[in-house]
Amino acid sequence: MSYSLLKDGDKYGGMYVATKAFGDTEVVSSGDNPVKVKEEASKKGIDDPVIFYVPKKGMVSIY
């Protein structure tokens, strides 16, 4: 099962990721710290990235 919002989503489990926009499935930066993920995306010229957490496979999330 892959994460449907991302290309190759399985490899980002337990990490924060940044994409260029909602609906864009390509990850431009990723890591354990959302601030650093945003900074890395900004260095790549993406002024307003979409950042979200990808749960680990099998993790139960309650919203």
pTM exceeds 0.85: no
Report how far residue 61's alpha carbon sits from residue 40's, in angstroms, rounded to the nearest whole number. 27
Where exactly are the structural domains of the chain?
9-54
Which tokens belong to 16? 């924060």
Give the other-Cβ count within 10 Å of 27's Cβ.
21
Helix H or strand E segment including 42 = helix 34-43
pLDDT digits (tens, 9 = 90+) for 25-62: 899 999 999 999 999 999 999 999 999 998 888 777 77
Give the residues across from 15 on adjacent strands: 54
Burial of 19 (0-12, 13-18, 19+ CB in 10 A): buried
Q: Which residue is listed with tokens 């609906």?
A: 23
